Amino acid sequence: MILTESTMKYILTFILSFLSFLVCSQNITITDIPTIDQLPVNAIHRVFRDSEGYMWYGTVNGLCRDDGYHVKVFRSDIETPGLLEDNLVECIAEDKKGNIWFGTDKGVYILDKSDYSVHPMDRERLKNIPVMYLYATSDGYMWLSYRSILAKYDINGQLVKEYPLQNEYGRTTISGFCESRNHEIIISVWNGRVYHLDKEKDEFVPYPDKMRRQNPTVMVQDNEQDYFWLATWGDGVVRFDPSAPEDSMFVYSELPVNAAGEEDGVILSLVQDDKLGYIWLTTGHDFMSLQIQPDKTLKQLKFQTGLLPVNHMLVEVLKGRGCLWVSAFDCPSFIVHLMDNITKDYALPALADRANRSPAVMALCDDGDGMMWIMQERTGLVLYDLKRDKVKIYSDFPALASLALDNGREMTRARINDGIWVAKDLNRWVYGMARQGMEMHLKNVIDLNGQVEPNATVTKLYEDSHGILWIGLSKGLCSYDVRQKRIKQVYPDVGHVMGIVENKEG
């Protein structure tokens, strides 16, 4: 019996509702940051991913930019004396222009990514002042926290307004900052409460004080629901729902248990990953994960011994694309890779034998049931049975030999009709291919000659959820209605198309 993905999810949910779940180690792997040896120090206490995919690390010895191959360090040293007043980087953020803002123990700096120059920001007010928190909001403003003030700056570094932070215990500092999907700004303060920004009054107003103790810290909004997950300094994780009645606004979960078997409710950092939807925590001693149950409670996940580091000084956890970045003081910072299933290597021996050389895959597309469409350099379009190591090449079929599909880098899955769309390099033809077993068949031909800009060739293919095939060109873009088999619209002024994706709303 073959279990579908939905059936597997149902079984998994059923098991989780009755017992602690042991996460399979093959679904989670951990690696050190590949460029860790290039950092000025091993200890990282801030991790940030910018809009271009670069990783930025805050260390005691400068700001580091990691492009996956090389690390560039921005600090005051013998080569760049006086670049920073202090090399201890406390916080990192990115503004709407793509520039990097970072706070130090002596002021804030803006790194201009056009030339990677570093400039002090509002030196008169912030010089020699520790800036511990930096946040960017969707309206383009930057928020800084220093001493007992939360300040709003515009993108040019000009102060807009200061918001003094004070509660019944006196002056305090920010501990958490979150912008909701509805663009509401919510903050928490040390030894204090949770507040939201009243936009009409332009001041922070507290929510009802219904917490056990006044110790909220990091806060994130749930991936799907409107409520928030609020970390605390001692009481674990709290579900915070601003729209709920006062008595149920803060709902506490069971305290997580560390590797030593002790309750550990001091949460340093908290995120919810986008792949599995788990809540991940760094505490005073360990790295932990919680799963959201159907009744909105949290249940701690157990991992195989030795999979995750324990009894280390971990600091911050940041979610990336299918992974988590965890910074640490007393051990190498690391990456947690979240995978759907086991990675398996395919040597493609039948293709190697047929081509009489090592496979050189230029493009591929899964057709289900272990069948893979492959564009192989020199032999062209291939249909490969991964289970039985059987191969067929398009030229094996007399009806297809004239297509000359001997090279190409663009292939995508056909949604409305089974099969694939494929285009030859530097060509103006798109072919719809299907199969019956290991037999290839030509189902559709799209001739763009006379339809698009002269000399424009196919660069990208994507069939959307509505049955429209988008054909990116070296000059322009066109859409093809798969059901009606006709060019629907041409967009000649788009430019050279290198990628096409579809969001959840279609």
Domain boundaries, the chain: 26-338, 349-491
User: How far is residue 24's CA from residue 8's CA, in Å, rounded to a whole number?
Assistant: 14
Tokens of 420: 């694939």
Secondary structure (3-state) at 105: coil
B/e letters for 302-319, b = 16+ CB within 10 Å, e = fewer, are: ebeeebbbbebebbbbbb
List the one residue out of 366, 384, 462, 395 whose CA is nearest residue 423: 462
- Please provide the CATH number assigned to the domain covering 26-338: 2.130.10.10
Secondary structure (3-state) at 352: helix
In tens digits, the chain (506 residues) has pLDDT values of 444 544 444 433 333 333 333 343 347 788 888 898 999 988 888 999 999 999 999 999 999 999 989 999 999 999 999 999 999 999 999 999 999 999 999 999 999 999 999 999 999 999 999 999 999 999 999 999 998 999 999 999 999 999 999 877 788 899 999 999 999 999 999 888 999 999 999 999 999 888 888 889 999 999 999 999 999 999 999 999 999 999 899 999 999 998 888 899 999 999 999 888 999 999 877 888 999 998 899 999 887 656 666 777 788 999 988 899 998 877 788 888 887 554 567 889 999 898 888 888 999 999 988 899 999 988 899 999 998 999 999 999 999 988 878 888 899 999 888 899 999 889 999 999 999 999 999 999 999 999 999 899 999 999 998 899 999 999 999 999 999 999 999 999 999 999 999 988 88
Tell me how far CA of residue 214 lies from CA of 62, 167, 235, 244, in angstroms: 34, 11, 10, 19
Tokens of 6: 């939905």
Backbone angles phi, psi at 129, to 5 degrees: -105, 130
User: How far is residue 310's CA from residue 288's CA, in Å, rounded to a whole number?
Assistant: 9
- The vertex-84 CA angle with 282 and 47, nearest 5°, equals 20
User: How far is residue 92's CA from residue 404's CA, in Å, rounded to a whole number?
Assistant: 53
User: How far is residue 241's CA from residue 248's CA, in Å, rounded to a whole number?
Assistant: 8
User: How far is residue 124's CA from residue 501's CA, in Å, rounded to a whole number?
Assistant: 46
Q: Residue holding tokens 């560039």?
A: 72
List the one residue out of 433, 422, 435, 402 whose CA is nearest residue 471: 422
Same fold, 26-338 and 349-491: yes
Tokens of 136: 């960017």
Q: Residue holding tokens 């290991």?
A: 438
User: How far is residue 332's CA from residue 37's CA, in Å, rounded to a whole number?
Assistant: 10
- Please provide the CATH number assigned to the domain covering 349-491: 2.130.10.10
> Where do the DSSP E strands lie in 122-212?
131-136, 142-146, 149-153, 159-164, 166-167, 170-171, 174-179, 185-189, 194-198, 203-206
Task: Sheet with 100-104: list strands edge to edge.
Answer: 89-94, 100-104, 107-112, 117-121
> How many other β-carbons are positioned within 10 Å of the β-carbon of residue 483?
10
**In 358-488, which ranges are continuous DSSP H helix?**
none
